[in-house]
Each structure stands twice: as structure tokens, then as C-alpha cells.
Structure 1
Amino acid sequence: MLTADMYAPGKIRLIDVPEPVLDPTPPAGMSGQIIFQPETTCLCGSDLPYFNGWDEWPIEQGHSLHEMIGTITATNGKRWRVGERVLAVPLMQQGLSERFVLDENRAIRIATNVPEEQALMAQPLGTAIYALKKLPNMLDRDVAIVGQGPMGQLMNAALSNMGARRVIGIDLIESRLQVSRKMGATDTVCNSKVDAVDAVKEILGGDLPDVVVECVGHKDQQLNLCIDLCKRDSQLLCFGVPPQFLNGLRWRDLFFKNVTVYTSVNPDFHRDFPLAMRWIEEGRIDVAPIITHTYPLAKLQEAFELFRDRKDGAIKVIVNFPSRKAQ
């Protein structure tokens, strides 16, 4: 069986490892386990620190992949049957293997009335829904979303669906902003060409947004820009995964604006991911515009490089495992 080995910064290969085996009975405190076989998967920005070289947590075999649909090949629990196809989320993003053991509660049913690549988007969309539930009522509010990668685009769609008056997408890359309007943004700002704060004020008639969402994270995080975009008594949602330490963060500016800060991680498998799947299934959100590229597992290195370098208009990059051919 193949699994991923990120053996050097920016380098990934597939190596042979033994097949996973279930215990005859579930571990104490767990209702059951499954052996999950990924088939349709996609890359996420939170996979890139592992690919680029990560010094805060150990990089292990199977890093890094966590958005996937596939088949249950074995179980010692009662929730699923062998052969059922589900969306699953591995622990610690160690899902870049042909098969792995997983708690049966970390899987949900998949919509069957949309292409599988679209149903797969319920995983990232579920993380957006979980985060947005923390904010006040969004009806008639002006929102700026800094970062128009996959998560920023899903934030556009979700906030538009929740009734925001203006959804302003901000990004350095013009090609991403061309997708933003398809995903619910009412306005876009390319801050590699103009000053983002001035542009947003012009859009809002001299005002600043009620809510600002940071969707960049990691070493490229844009919290200082978000602080500049916040008006007094506004809300800031820090969605992008941050580095351990934020050097140069202008926290005092945030403090004196009296901004309420929200953070978000670890959605609920019983509510957030199923709700996201339902939104896609019912057509409330069209995720098709963000799916831009597809690669076979054999071209995993190329897929990661394209996604990391944001080439060719890449937003969501699908990686298909060999097992998908058997469907």
C-alpha cells in the first residue's frame, strides 16, 4: 500500500507501507472504527506548511491530506457498512495514504445528485459554516474577506447566502478575483494594484466594513491589513490557521478600535459538515467555480507545486487516487 513521505521541503514521494488492520473490537470510549479508502481528494492551504517544511509539529508519513471521499473497506462498528461511500476527515491531516484507520464518527454521507468533486467541497464549506455561526446576524451587513483562495471563496458564498449586503473579496491575485463574483462577492479589490483600505472605503461610501474575515493564515497571514479594515466596534473573524507567533501584530490598534475577535477550528461532524453537504445538495451554494484542476495521485508532486505557487488560476486542486478507476 502507498503512503506519502514528505522527505524534504517541497518534496513528496509515495512509499510502500503495510496495510492497516482493525482491532477486533473498538478501542475503549470509541463506538467503532473503519478502514477508509480515499478516492476523490483535494488540496487545502493547511496542507502546504507540511509540504513547504513545518517546524512546529512533526511531519509524519501520510501528511498531508484531509479533504476526501472514498469507500469503507472494513469496520468493527455499527454505523457504516463495508462498501459504503462517505466523506471522511482523518486525524492530524494524515490522510495521504491508499487506506487508513479512522473513527467511524469522522465520516458523513455524501450527496449523490451532484458531481463527486462538488460533494467533496462540503468538508471545507463545513469549516466555514462552523466559523460563521459564531458571528452575529449577517443580514444587511457589509463584509470584507481578505484572501480569495478556496476558503475565501467559500466564505463569499456562505455570507452571500446568509444575507450580507456587500461581500468584498480582497486578494493580491487578479485571476482569483475573477472567480469571486461567481462565488457571491458583490465587489472585488486587487490589493497588489490599489490600497485595500482606500478601495473598500470607496465601495462603501467612505465607511469601513461591519465584519472582516482573515482567510490567508500561516506565514502569509494578513491580520494587520484586517485591523486597518476594521472600524470601531466591528467584528474580526480570524479564520486562516496562524503561525505559533505573530511578529509585528498591531494588537493595540485592534484594542483601541474595540473590535471583537473570533477564532475557529474543529467543526462538528454531526452538524457542520452535514449542513454543508445539504447546502450543496440543495443547490444553495454552487461550488463548481472554485474547482480548477485535477491530477492523478501519480502526479502528486506536480499538484502540490501548482497549488503552492498559485499558477494557472489554481484554486481547488483535485487529486484522484487509483481506486477511483474501479468505480
Structure 2
Amino acid sequence: MATMWAQQLVRPREFVEVATTRPDADDLVDGEVLLRLRAGAICGSDLPVFNGLLTLKQRDEPGVENPPGSPMHEVVGEVIATRDPRHAVGDQVVGWGSRLNALSELTISLGDALNSFDPRLSPERAVMLQPLACVLHAVEQIPGVAGARAAVLGQGPMGLLFNHALRSAGARSVIGVDRLDRRDLGARMGADDVAHLHTSRWVGQLSDADRPEVVVEAIGHNVSTLDHALEAAERGGRIFYFGIPDDAYYPVNMQRLLRKNLSLMSGVTLQRRVMLEKASRYLAAHPDLVEAFVTHTFDVDQAQQGFELATAPTPQTAKITLKVAS
């Protein structure tokens, strides 16, 4: 039986490299492609798995808690087999590793979740198009961004992209909030100011005149921070909860939602291939975004170090990517 390498979580916060069964063209169904990994990136939704959490998705699919290659879904790869006519063998593509196990030599993904990219971008830079596509899709769903005061709770990699995308969408002002000192990095990514505070303290100090009309909750993995977003918003404001929840149920202050005439939104990225194309155009229009956003790159066999940094970032840590040696 042919094998390939993969990184596998054997216990919380510990990767080991393993040899595992190698997929081939016969394993594909219509609409799928087989990719050889060239680069990947660490997403905030990967970190609960790294830390040992049994996620909601894993609870729904017992027996596949930590397969080889998990957790990673932000991927750049070379197509080596295809059952999607839009992708040919040899194509270099970016997007979603649909099975969430892309931290491996080969991975199977849906062709509809992949797109080509500018070949002038290195794979470890091009992989940022996937999170950028997610953020652009979210901003498109929020009404009335142009001319609005906006706040982004959380200045991790996704929050930083929201700074930039909201500014580009015409927000009158953007303030970031983070318990890390992200003032320098947040400003470089488009924020007018970044409050170096926990959201509970920030909202407690917020004056009525400074209340944002648009609030993005980009922290995730917390129940309380969604309530802080509702408390912060101006009357008639819009709140977008971004990211994958760790818990199926979040308590919502319905009295506050009702009396302030707020709109609460969320959702996954749809039309992924379309959004990847939009992300490519956006990045072409803002080429400086690449170097500002991708701050650390590790070889794929250093995934352990990359994930450890992602769980305990420094003030200057934004996106962490992984590359396969040529």
C-alpha cells in the first residue's frame, strides 16, 4: 500500500509526523481534485483542535477526531488528479482543503472551493487569499458599511483583514480592540486606532457618541464577547459574528437586541471560487497587504512551532503560514 507523510495530533498540542495511506485518483468523486501540498496556513478555527477540543463538527462525525493531516484547511496545492473539468493536472490553486486534513503530502478537496492565483505570489503568500475571501464575503453581507463607524473586536489575523476590508468598503472610521497591544499592526492594516483593552473594559468606557454602527466580533471561542458587541453597538447597528463557534448555543441578550433595534448576522463563506477570484483582484489592488499580513512562515515539518506561536502570538504576529520545501 502506497503511503505519504502527514502531521498528526497524537495528543493535545503535540504533532508527530506519520506515514499514512496515500489517496489516488480512484478515491475522487465528481467535483473533487487531488492536491499535492505546497503551502498552508493556520486558522483560528484550527486552534481549538490543536488544544484538544472535540469540535462540534467532530462530535457529529464520531471516529474521525484527529485524522492524519488535521487540522488545516487553508491550502495551496498542485493538482495531480482531477474530476472537476475546471481544474487540470499541473494547475496551481488556492482555497479550502475541504476535508480539513491538508497538513499532509496529498489532500482531496472540492474543485468549487479552489481557484488559480497570480504565479508571482509564492505559495506561502498566496495562501492568504483563502482567509481574505472569507472576510470579503462577510463584509459584503453587512449593510451600510460605507460612511459607518466600525469596530472590530479582536485583532488577530482575521480581525486585521476586517480592518482593511471595512476601510476599503468605505467605513468612515475603524477601531480595533484587543487585549494584545496591536496598535502598530492594527494601524498598518487600516484601523484609525486600536484599543489595547479586553472588550469588557473597552465597552465599559465607550461614550454614546463613539458607539459604532457596525461591529464585527472576530475573536471567536468566547460567549461573553458577543454580548460585548451588542452592548457596544449604536442603536440600529449591525453586528457580524465571524468564525466557527466552539459551542452550539450562545446566550443572546434579547432585551438589548430588541430595544436597540440591532441586527445580528453570521454565516459561512458561500460561492467560494467566486470569492477567491475577488480576493485575487483585491490583493492585486493592495499589493502591500501581503507583507503586512503574512508575518511568519515555517517549514511544514515545523508545524508544531507554528501552532504554538499561533496560540500565544506576540503583538507583531499576524498570519502564520507553512511551506513545503521545493
Q: TM-score, normalised by structure 2?
A: 0.89
Paired residue for 2:243, among 229, 232, 240? Answer: 240
Provide the rounded CA distance (Å) in 2 between the counterparts of 1:183 and 1:200. Answer: 23
Paired residue for 2:216, among 213, 233, 255? Answer: 213
Question: Displacement, 1:235?
Answer: 0.6
- Sort the Cα spacing of 1:221 and 1:301 in 2 relative to 1 into closer, same or farther, 3 A: farther
Q: Report if the CA contact (8 A) 1:21-1:101 is conserved.
A: no
Q: Equivalences for 1:1-327 in 2 at 5 Å?
A: 1-23=4-26, 27=29, 30=30, 32-55=31-54, 56=56, 57=58, 58-174=65-181, 176-192=182-198, 195-197=201-203, 200-201=206-207, 206-219=209-222, 222-246=225-249, 249-283=252-286, 286-311=289-314, 313-322=316-325, 325=326
Question: Displacement, 1:14?
Answer: 1.6
- Identity among equivalent positions (%) equals 28
Provide the rounded CA distance (Å) in 1 between the counterparts of 2:184 and 2:260. Answer: 32
Question: Displacement, 1:237?
Answer: 0.4
Provide the rounded CA distance (Å) in 2 between the counterparts of 1:184 and 1:315. Answer: 14
Q: Which SS does the other structure have where 1:218 is aligned?
A: coil
Q: TM-score, normalised by structure 1?
A: 0.89
Q: Report if the CA contact (8 A) 1:221-1:240 is conserved.
A: no
Q: Report if the CA contact (8 A) 1:189-1:199 is conserved.
A: no
- For 2:194, the aligned partner's letter is T
- For 1:53, the aligned partner's letter is G
Provide the rounded CA distance (Å) in 2 between the counterparts of 1:243 and 1:95. Answer: 21
Q: Report if the CA contact (8 A) 1:43-1:65 is conserved.
A: yes
Q: Report if the CA contact (8 A) 1:143-1:164 is conserved.
A: yes
Aligned residues: 315
- Sort the Cα spacing of 1:220 and 1:167 in 2 relative to 1 into closer, same or farther, 3 A: same
Q: What is the match of residue 62 of structure 2? A: none
- Sort the Cα spacing of 1:98 and 1:116 in 2 relative to 1 into closer, same or farther, 3 A: closer
- Unaligned 5+ runs, structure 2: 59-64
Question: Displacement, 1:49?
Answer: 1.1
- For 2:236, the aligned partner's letter is D
Question: Displacement, 1:221?
Answer: 6.0
- For 2:295, the aligned partner's letter is T
- Sort the Cα spacing of 1:248 and 1:16 in 2 relative to 1 into closer, same or farther, 3 A: same
- For 1:286, the aligned partner's letter is L
Provide the rounded CA distance (Å) in 1 between the counterparts of 2:310 and 2:186. Answer: 18
- Unaligned 5+ runs, structure 1: none
Question: Displacement, 1:105?
Answer: 2.3
Between 1:297-306 and 1:72-81, the stretch displaced more is 72-81
Q: Report if the CA contact (8 A) 1:10-1:53 is conserved.
A: yes
Q: CA RMSD in A?
A: 2.3
Q: Which SS does the other structure have where 1:88 is aligned?
A: strand
Provide the rounded CA distance (Å) in 2 between the counterparts of 1:220 and 1:257. Answer: 20
Question: Displacement, 1:125?
Answer: 0.8
Provide the rounded CA distance (Å) in 2 between the counterparts of 1:281 and 1:112. Answer: 12
Provide the rounded CA distance (Å) in 2 between the counterparts of 1:88 and 1:212. Answer: 27
